[in-house]
């Protein structure tokens, strides 16, 4: 469906799905958008969806996944939570997308200057926001290169490193806590990869070294 309706989604490989996202991100960076007939796409999608990718991203208003990857309605199964945290509800949503809707790749995408990551760096505690920062604390603890008194949100280098480590940690959590995702990965029916989006450049830097594709 959507902008990729001519592709045989059932036989799409995880690497091919990633390539579609990379190409779309390049169009976004270069401000070149695909032409879309949205009324036609809505008609095609009213009974069924076949998103080729499932993305766990941040709720930040500057990180709209369909825009960043230049995709259309029905292309991305979008799961967005502050700090792109892999809570049980998020993992369940990703399981549904991959096992029952046919998504071929899971992307966990953090972004630069993330408010949730900054809050975790400062050990912020207030209301239910604390429930989010708790899930980000492992990434803060895993960052060992920067010492006090520089381990706070005022240090952009520290925030950036924690952001990257958080993406890795959330991927680890997804795999460890989901037998469905683990089984699909082992059968090579899906892939999983992390990435960090730059608010300044618009580019998503994918972590190919730790990807399972």
Task: Please state the domain extents for the chain.
Answer: 2-113+174-210
- Predicted pLDDT at 8: 75
Whether the model pTM is above 0.85: yes
Each residue of 58-107: pLDDT tens digit?
999 999 999 999 999 999 999 999 999 999 999 999 999 999 999 999 99
- Looking at 3.10.129.10, 3.40.1050.10, 3.30.1490.20, 3.40.50.970, the CATH number of the domain 2-113+174-210 comes to 3.40.1050.10
Q: On the CB side of 93, how many CA atoms lie within 13 Å of its CA?
A: 20
Q: What number is the average pLDDT over the span 118-138? A: 96
pLDDT at 118 exceeding the cut of 70 = yes
């Amino acid at each position: 469906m959507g902008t990729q309706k001519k592709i045989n989604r059932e036989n799409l490989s995880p690497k091919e799905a990633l390539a579609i996202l990379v190409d779309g991100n390049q169009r976004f960076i270069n401000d070149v958008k695909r032409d879309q007939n949205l009324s036609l796409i809505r008609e095609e999608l009213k009974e069924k969806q076949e998103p080729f990718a499932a993305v766990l991203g941040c709720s930040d208003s500057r990180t709209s996944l369909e825009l960043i990857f230049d995709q259309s309605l029905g292309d991305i199964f979008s799961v967005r939570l502050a700090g792109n945290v892999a809570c049980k509800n998020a993992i369940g949503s990703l399981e549904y997308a991959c096992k029952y809707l046919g998504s071929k790749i899971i992307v966990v995408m953090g972004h630069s200057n993330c408010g949730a990551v900054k809050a975790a760096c400062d050990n912020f505690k207030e209301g239910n926001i604390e429930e989010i920062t708790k899930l980000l604390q492992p990434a803060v603890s895993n960052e060992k290169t920067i010492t006090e008194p520089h381990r706070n949100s005022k240090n952009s280098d520290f925030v950036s490193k924690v952001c990257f480590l958080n993406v890795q940690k959330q991927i680890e959590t997804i795999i460890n806590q989901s037998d469905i995702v683990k089984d699909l990965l082992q059968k090579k029916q899906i892939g999983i990869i992390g990435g960090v989006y730059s608010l300044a450049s618009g580019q998503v830097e994918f972590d190919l070294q730790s990807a399972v594709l």
